[in-house]
Structure formats: structure tokens, C-alpha cells
Amino acid sequence: MSGTEDPTGEHKVGITNAQENNPDRRIADLTAEMNARFQAGEYLDAARIAFSITGLGKDELRQTMNAKKSVRQIAEEMNAEAKRKGMHLDRDPWSIPADPNFDVFDRLTPEEEALTAQLRSERFARAEAAKHATEPASAVAVVLEWRFSPADYFEEPVTISRDDYTMTIDNGKVEARIASAACDANPSMRAVLDEGLNGRFLGVQLLSHRPYELSKLTMTRLHPDGRREFFMETEPGHFRITGGSVDFQVIDKNENVLSDSRRDRIDKKKRLAELVCTYLASDGLLGALLKSYKTGVDDPDNELVHLYEIREALSTKFGGESATRSALSVSSSDWSRLGQLCNDEPVRQGRHRGKSAGALREATKTELAEARGIARAMVEAYLQYLEKAAAGAGTP
């Protein structure tokens, strides 16, 4: 509202600087004192004096009801002055109760009471906004946190640094630290980081074949004065832990490490996690492939059904077996072997178990490992295809 607009929707305040010239010396002196208190930054005292002035008589109040300034304007001016001095109002001056013997209005209607409550609420909101406005933006941070199981899913700490955030993954906990201004300027940032983190887990799962549980994110806003605001969303869940693998090193006679299976595996996990995070949001097929693989991990009784979905989805994308194998460099033997394991073997985890003439058996560990390896290689090949396409070597 500008200083020339006529206030609407609220009572006008009948106290102005002009009252220093009021012929009633009581009002003139109190107005001068009120203005002095205001200039000194003693806003609560100034507000109390204002009520004393208005309490001197209904007639005087009625005469000054034509003043151009409103409660909202005066509140905004007070906040602006406080902000200029590096302070904020910690209380709504206009909520201070007047003298109980002072009755400006004989009785408020329900509509007037509702309007008064609304204006008071707006003042509290403005005071809170003014308070936050005095905090240096660089000193305010937003921290996003997730918990995951198993805690060693990434095997070693992972740090991802970007222009607007830093994320660390370690020992069952993920933390992303963001400047508050960057988070507020991009409301979708939390969802993007959450989706990207899920992508990293799916990328690692391609190699580990381990189920995982990733919690809903929690958000904490840190303030320079030590205050913390917490936001949390939870949901029930479960996870299953399976057996691990044996690592080995190849060392020459001089104790030089020629090969380290754990180091190689961790590096490949990071590489796949980064690729998945990069392309998951923009490529729907990649999400479908990873979902099929994850469902196979979580639903072992139908694992071969889900692994075969990967071959089917890629075949649909590229227009058949020949085009798919050519685009992704998949060998004919691998293509056929995955089909045999998923469709033809009389196993309980297979696709055509109901068509088997004889008794069904459990798929062997070797068969399952072979099927997983071929399906995983197809997903990795598709990731490489996306990476080449992004570099201008092809078109997905």
C-alpha cells in the first residue's frame, strides 16, 4: 500500500506526527514522547504511549480517523526501521492490550473480531519474515538426511560436490548440505536430490545384487543463532541382508598390488552410480530397467521373470533382437542364454513354469548368477549407449 492510498479493510490509526501540535497539551506531549521513543528504537514503549493517546477520548480518536496511515503501514515502517538497525521485532506491538478502562468501541461484531484476528496474524507473519531477513543468507543452511541399510552398501565413504550442494554417503547415513538461498530458489531441489540418490543405490545394486532400504528424507534448517527447524516424513519398511563376497588381491614379489577386487568393485560402483544419477531423470527406459532388476532382488521367487523384462524392454526400444544387439554390442550367445534360462529351463523362478511337462526344480546359484550377469551387462551397455549419445556419438 502506498502512502497516498486510502487504507481499507482495517482501522486507521489516529496517531500522527501532526498530533505534536494538538491544542490539547496532554496529547501533544505524549505524541512527542512517542515519536522520541520510536526514533530511539524503543518500539514497544512507543506503542504503549500510542494506546494512551488514543485512550484520552473517543472524540479525539474520531477526529483523527481520517489519517492516511494504517496499522499495516505503520507496522511496515517499524519493521523497515528495525531491519535498517539490524534488529527485528520479537512481539507484535499492536497486540498489547489497552487499558481495561478504555473502551474505544462499545462492542465488536463477530466480523470485526475475525478481522482483528486476521490482521494480528498478518503482523506476526511480517515480524517473523523481518526476523529472518536480518539473518545473513550465507549463514543459513539446509541439511537433508537419509538413513539406509545395510550400512556398508557403498563399502567406503562417498562425497559428491556440486555448485549448489555437497552430499556425503557413509555408514548408513546420507547428508546433503545446501545453502538456504539455493534451496528456496529451487523448490524442486529436494525431490531432484532424492531421485538422484535413489539412482545411485540402483546403480550400486547392479553390482552387489543386495537389497537395500533407503528412508524418506528429513530436512533441517540451521540458523546462525543456533535454532533448528526440523521437517520429517517417515514410512514403515523392511530389508533383507544376503551373503557377501570374498575379496582378493594379486601381489607381485615386491609387494606391489597388481589387482584388488575390492578396489575395482568400489570404483565400478561409483562409476555406475554416477551414470545412473546422471540419466535416470531424463530417460524413462533406464528407470524401467533398474526397477526390473531391483524387483528381481526383492522378489527372488520370480527373479528370472523380472530379469527377462530387461531384455524385452531393450528389444522394444531398438526394434528387435538384431538392432538391440548391434546398438549395445550384446553377443548372440548371451542373448540366447538369457532367454533359455528365463524361458526354457524347468525352474520355479522362470517365466514358463506352468508349461513344463515335468517337475520343477530350483534354479541353481550358478544359473541365477549367470542370468544376473547377462541382464546386468545389458543395463550397463545401455548406460554406455546413453553416455555416448550425450557426447554426440549417437541418438537414444
Instruction: Pick the closest to residue 267 from 203, 328, 213 (CA basis).
Output: 203
Q: What pLDDT score does 243 carry?
A: 40
User: Cα(49)–Cα(61) distance, rounded to whole angstroms?
Assistant: 14
Q: What pLDDT score does 338 carry?
A: 94
- Residue 18: how many other CB atoms lie within 10 Å: 10
Q: What pLDDT score does 179 carry?
A: 83
Q: What pLDDT score does 54 carry?
A: 63
The SS3 call for residue 367 is helix
10-residue block means of pLDDT along the chain (396 residues)?
38 47 71 76 69 57 50 62 55 42 50 66 58 50 91 91 90 90 82 90 90 89 74 45 50 67 82 89 92 93 94 95 94 94 89 74 91 93 92 59
Which residues are registered as beta bridge partners of 142?
178, 221
Q: Are 141 and 152 in contact (CB under 8 A)?
A: no
DSSP state of 25: H
Instruction: Pick the closest to residue 307 from 318, 323, 291 (CA basis).
Output: 291
Question: Is this structure's pTM higher than 0.75?
Answer: no
Please list, in sequence order, all residues whose beta carbon lies within 8 angstroms of the beta carbon of residue 225, skipping any fewer than 6 positions away. Answer: 135
Domain ranges of the chain: 17-133, 136-236+246-277, 282-396
Phi and psi torsions of 161, nearest 5°: -115, 130
